[in-house]
Chain A
């Protein structure tokens, strides 16, 4: 659509600006403020410069958490994106069954995040959970509170359970927008199923898939509640992701300075990666248009 230049449009944006400034800028400034000061807990603050940033950059704790976080986001993206596409390809094309699938698939997306954690915490327990009990009965040594691998598998499966439907819904919407003529032409050109996917379905899904990847990356990078409820970050620190570590530091230990420095770097990493995604997306949009 052709847009006209109108500086008065600023007035329409003003309420959003004020609100978001209040709920984002002021808190963020507090964080910046803490990140450059030190305190001994008696409400007296000292200028600490970039000391905390230096400390955090040198701290093994943060790098470990970042490593775990990248591993977690990487694993769930590698599972959820292909699985979501696969599910979307197998969805009914329309009618009652499609509606039913849409409603049932959306269900996990609307469950409060701590309840998601609770569900899996229960489900995986060896004494009262269906999954844990079954695995135990089959002779598999599965205990997510003791065993690192089991804990990781649990939180990854939980995230796949929670969010794959989102990817599938987006991919499905992309698939639905492909006109029938494309499939007919492919039949006439004698294209194999793989080529139909590779040259028709995948290119047409690219736009929504980028959004799906962006959302899944962002949200998995900030994940807190669900794994915290299930494992509490353990066993040991095995599943202590960035947010869990940060909350531990800020609200648990009240290490304000390091936590603030940590926060800022954490936010910057997300911003940087998201900005790359966003730029790619906008360019993709342009090419489509």
Chain B
């Protein structure tokens, strides 16, 4: 319908300028979004000499040396490995505890359910800065400081409530009759949940996983506070470029570009659900 009315207006010639103005607005906006990223990419492919001494809109001496530095030095690439380890751990833990809870919220009334739900939400509102110091002390005291699991658990603070919200939104869309039919057919709760219910909300699980992945991936304050060497995330290692001889801009830019890649890859798969996820499943 929308396309057709657009056709209709073009043939009349009246709204031709309006269609152009839409394209112009979008082009300008996307340009605004992409220009800084392009600049980072541009820098990552230059030598430091070119970066500092010449002002060039694209690399004159194309070099991959900055990327080679990162990908051959364990001190660098272990940062990516560390980040990925705690991000994956966090995603698995968040989903494992959020799935049953979301089911309970979507299907049942129980004592204090509304308060509990709001209390969970408040954790999404908690400023990481407030928790930085107590987390540091808590995980130090239980001997988990500088481990992947410490960061993974810390990120559960905001990812578990988020996962519960998103999953609850998706689960509300599944008719209750499906549960009842399964119980009548003799399924136990466990086998019903795994065999029937989980496949039905597969897209919801995917979206929740994506958001857990994402927020754990982009967070820095907590992950930096809780690690020193063994589990140090890539984002924190990036500050290393500030050496005695000044900042190694090329390597810094290359490291930045490499942190964008995983996100860019997964966006493609969930592009149609991103809004739903951000709206906590409420779209």
Contact = CB atoms under 8 A, between A and B. Distances in A.
A172 B272 CA distance: 11
B283 A177 contact: yes
A107 B37 contact: yes
Interface in A234-264: 242-244, 246-247, 250-251, 256, 259, 263-264
Interface string B88-124: 0000010011101101111111110100101011111
A119 B1 CA distance: 41
A259 B132 CA distance: 11
A12 interface: yes
A267 to B, nearest CB: 5
A202 interface: no
B253 interface: yes
B3 A115 contact: no
A127 interface: yes
Contacts of A242: 127, 129
B65 interface: no
A224 to B, nearest CB: 5
Interface residues of A, number: 99
A188 interface: no
Interface string A8-33: 11101101110110111011101100
B238 A114 contact: yes
Interface string A121-154: 0110001111101000000000000000000000
Contacts of A278: 118, 121
A4 B260 contact: no
A104 B137 contact: no
Given A26-B138, A31-B134, A103-B267, A115 B1 contact: no
Interface in A88-120: 90-95, 99, 101-115, 118-120
Given A109-B214, A112-B259, A222-B127, A130 B157 contact: no
Interface residues of B, number: 104
A251 B101 contact: no
A267 B36 contact: no
A120 to B, nearest CB: 6
Contacts of B130: 31, 246, 263-264, 266-267
A266 B106 CA distance: 32
Contacts of B153: 19, 22-23
Interface in B51-101: 51-52, 55, 57, 93, 96-98, 100-101
Given A30-B137, A110-B263, A222 B271 contact: no
A11 to B, nearest CB: 8
B26 interface: yes
| Chain B binding surface, main DSSP class | helix
A7 B111 contact: yes
Given A1-B172, A161-B33, A215-B278, A115 B260 contact: yes
B25 A173 contact: no
B156 A30 contact: no
Contact of B129 (A101, A177, A243): A243
28 contacts: A3-B107, A4-B108, A4-B109, A13-B116, A15-B96, A16-B97, A19-B93, A19-B153, A27-B134, A87-B26, A90-B22, A107-B264, A110-B267, A115-B238, A122-B253, A128-B52, A128-B55, A130-B57, A170-B275, A173-B279, A180-B2, A212-B279, A218-B125, A222-B128, A250-B133, A251-B225, A263-B130, A271-B125
Given A105-B33, A110-B266, A111-B260, 7 more contacts: A3-B109, A12-B101, A99-B271, A104-B34, A114-B236, A250-B129, A274-B125
Interface of B: 1-3, 5-6, 21-22, 25-26, 29-30, 32-37, 39-40, 43, 51-52, 55, 57, 93, 96-98, 100-101, 103-111, 113, 116, 118, 120-138, 153-154, 156-157, 160-161, 164, 172, 175-176, 214, 217-221, 225, 234-236, 238, 249, 252-253, 256, 259-260, 262-264, 266-268, 271-272, 274-276, 278-280, 282-283
Interface of A: 1-10, 12-13, 15-17, 19-20, 22-24, 26-28, 30-31, 86-87, 90-95, 99, 101-115, 118-120, 122-123, 127-131, 133, 161, 165-166, 169-170, 172-174, 177, 180, 183, 207-208, 211-212, 215, 218, 221-222, 224-225, 242-244, 246-247, 250-251, 256, 259, 263-264, 266-267, 270-271, 274-275, 278
